[in-house]
Amino acid sequence: MLRHLAQNDSVRSDACSRYAAGHRVHWIHAKKCRQEPGQAVEVLLTSGDVGDDGWVGLRPAFDYAGDLPSVWTHAPRALRESLAAHRGRVYWLARWHALTLVEGERGGGVGGGLDGGKGAGLVNVALQGGDLCEEGQ
């Protein structure tokens, strides 16, 4: 069974309990993303950007952001489900190899979303692929 993105957590499947790159978010990782986000780049990300192999193509929301990497997640189906239900902004936190999904209209910056918005979920991503952890893949 897949679980949806929750505050300070990552998309995950019940079949995986790993905290490695591209897998679940450890509480220390979540704390660092919240306290020291570094440069946050708003990205355009939909469920269609998530491949069955776990690779996600990041597209900057604004031209001045430059090129962004492709990133990998262990649970592409869960990320697609989370993005399909998401109605807020998405930011790439390069320093921590994480995506943050900020709910609501207060997402006018990562600080507002992570520290005082209606909620933020984190997605721990990797720059290298790995094994998918979802059942039925």
Q: Which residues of the chain have pLDDT under 70?
A: 1-14, 104-120, 135-137
- Rounded to two decimals, what is the model's pTM? 0.79
pLDDT for the residue numbered 80: 92
**CB-based contact 78:134 (threshold 8 Å):** yes
Q: Which pLDDT score, from 0 to 100, does residue 107 have? A: 43
Report the C-alpha gap between 36 and 18 in whole angstroms.
23
**What confidence score (pLDDT) does residue 113 get?**
45
